[in-house]
Amino acid sequence: MSRNAPDQSALAKAEILTEALPYMQRYAGKTFVVKYGGHAMGDPEAARDFAEDVVLLKAVGINPIVVHGGGPQIGAMLKKLGVESSFVDGLRVTDAETAKVAEMVLSGAINKELVSWISQAGGKAVGISGKDGGFVMAEKVTRTTRDPDSNIERAVDLGFVGEPKAVDRTVLDTLSSAGMIPVVAPIGVDETGQTYNINADTMAGAIAAATGAARLFLLTDVAGVLGKDGTLLTDLDPAGIEALRAEGTITGGMIPKLETCIAAVNGGAEAAVILDGRVPHVTLLEIFTRGGAGTLVHR
């Protein structure tokens, strides 16, 4: 009788867990906020690995909270519906029609698909958005741009794009204490009942701060923050980040991610980590191995 070839993914996880055993107890009862997005969202195998990792975290006594993005999926749906989009500083200008589509995609298709992945991995997940139970109160984002010719700043109306103003952790605590894994769509509401689309990184950072999370994980499509020579910078604090930004080492889309990390740790999270979501079991590698896997940001 022949045996099947060993599952390489299972072997990799077994190796991680073997090294992880001494580290697990220190995080029992702690909260991890994981922002899930990028490459992993479009890859079923990566999504399956991610779901299994989240279920494992819950099984060893950690309380994971998943916050997901969905920009490409929103863009695809808008294109399908013939709705044009524009962006300012990486944020989608969101009119009333776009806001409805964004909520449909984020709170509907993506959120429930991720809940399903976690359920298939043996966990109990509940999909929510910031509108549920007054969980995330939002306020309108304001942005200015500078005209390169006149050097005059002008306000830009991004429409129904918001940012967290206040986070009530009651819903999260209730779900976590009942053995559930909250899966959060980045949608919030203001005092008048107006719905706002929120950047997923920003949403995750605000939740990490409000819950005093032991870790905020931002899963991206890059290894982390790289130095000028291309090597991974594994340990940063706000002063170091500002120095790297001033010398031009940190540019582009990495700037707002690091700003989110700094806001989270200044707001109450113990630390934040930028990780490559394309790496199998990267969250386990970061937290349960001596070398880590990404860029750690701390006070």
| Tens of pLDDT, residues 20-32 | 556 666 788 899 9
pLDDT of residue 211: 96
pLDDT of residue 202: 95
Q: Which is more confidently placed, 223 or 181?
A: 181
pLDDT of residue 299: 85
Q: Which domains does the chain have, with CATH numbers?
A: 29-297 (3.40.1160.10)
pLDDT of residue 155: 67
pTM of the predicted model over 0.75 = yes
Please check the confidence at residue 8 and state whether its pLDDT lies above 60: no
| Tens of pLDDT, residues 65-110 | 999 988 778 878 888 888 777 777 666 777 788 888 888 888 888 8
Q: What's the CA gap between 178 and 72, in Å, rounded? A: 33
| Tens of pLDDT, residues 116-166 | 999 999 999 999 999 998 899 999 987 766 666 666 666 667 778 899 999
* Mean pLDDT, residues 252-259 taken together: 88
